[in-house]
Homo-oligomer: A and B are copies of this chain.
């Protein structure tokens, strides 16, 4: 017997037929003797409709009222799933964020969960009742509804799992797990049985869209074992892996991963733009003069590379920003030309960041060198490099995306 959280997104609850399918998944776990809390999103499309209403009501609208309108979507799904479960003979009860309660901060529209009172839910679970929780929302200190921002239901699920001390948080999604890389790019990509929290955090940050970054952070902080699996799997007879467990990917502490690979996956992100400032006077404080104004403009800088130029007196600074901030970032730098003191500014938006990720990297030398060699052999020019303990990222021309990802996937022995 285990205590589980099962999370289902908008496409999994898009209509009553799919809600019945979700209920069968839940019933299977209940009949296996598990205590189950379910977290649901709004029916697919409903949140967009509600957001559209608020925009039509006023272009600039109060975030508190936006939250009151938009939070209604999950309320409907939670009630309907409870009804369907009861109809299948499974005792169930819906729970809105304010009823549990899930307390958030005051950042309406993009609130963060501050605490969850798990005791009431635990009592119900122990009585054998399924708790169907509305995802994506909580109640702010002013007793008003607060939503967590798009995709927040993953975060709700992990946070509830932490609050009720669940053994596992199952994220049912439209893919059957986390892959070594994007299967649309590399046909030989394979599903990972297990991924460490830190690796998943890098993958989620770097563009693997299976899980919201915030939910992975929360899972890591609270040690919530999170299992990504397919909601389209047969609810009554789910597919089984070689080891007898359901098909999916477990995101867990690295201690749970017996045979840690050096490299776990290859991620890429096309939402990058590069800006290079040439011949900046190389003196103390120059970096803050470049990046201070960008921070003030709320521009998120990702990679930063600074090289000393041959003459030793000037330097080149290259950095990347999200593609949507490219024009604004260039303008900020150009406006500060006298303050910074540089010769010229260059940029490119047809770039991609490719990343090699793996916990095993920490204890294996030569992973980075192998990456650079592999790309060089294919004639792929590297524009910038950043590394962390468990990740190497290179910025390259976007035309080489697929070639680079396939090359690295094969190089590190990930081809299935």
Q: Interface residues, chain A, CB within 8 Å of chain B? A: 16, 19, 50, 53-54, 56-58, 60-62, 64-69, 71-73, 75-76, 78-80, 82-84, 86-87, 93-94, 96, 98-99, 143-145
Is A79 a contact partner of B83 (Cβ separation < 8 A)? no
Taking a contact as CB atoms under 8 Å apart, the answer to whether A61 and B83 are in contact is yes
Known: A64-B93, A86-B62, A143-B99. A57 touches B72 (CB 8 A): no
Contact yes or no, B19 A57, CB < 8 A: yes
Are A53 and B93 in contact (CB-based, < 8 A)? no
Residue of B whose beta carbon sits closest to that of A20: B57
Cα of A83 to Cα of B68 in the assembled complex, Å:
10
Q: Is the CB of B66 within 8 A of A83?
A: yes
- Contact partner of A76 (CB less than 8 A), chosen from B69, B84, B143, is B69
- Alpha-carbon distance A231/B268, docked complex (angstroms): 56
| Interface pairs A-B: 8 shortest CB-CB | A58-B87, A68-B79, A69-B79, A72-B72, A57-B83, A61-B83, A65-B79, A65-B82
Chain B: minimal CB distance from A51 (Å): 12
Check A83/B65 contact, CB under 8 A, given A16-B53, A16-B56, A76-B53.
yes
Task: Tell me the bound Cα distance from A16 to B69 in angstroms.
Answer: 13
Distance of A231 from chain B, by nearest CB (Å)? 18
For A71, list chain B residues within 8 Å (CB): 75
- Whether A84 pairs with B57 at a CB distance below 8 angstroms is yes
A87 and B64 alpha carbons, distance in the complex (Å):
14
Query: What are 5 A-to-B residue pairs whose CB atoms are below 8 Å?
Result: A16-B53, A54-B79, A64-B93, A69-B75, A72-B75
Q: Tell me whether B144 and A99 are in contact (CB under 8 A).
A: yes
Query: Given contacts A75-B68, A76-B72, are A62 and B50 in contact (CB under 8 A)?
Result: no
Least CB separation from A23: chain B residue: B57
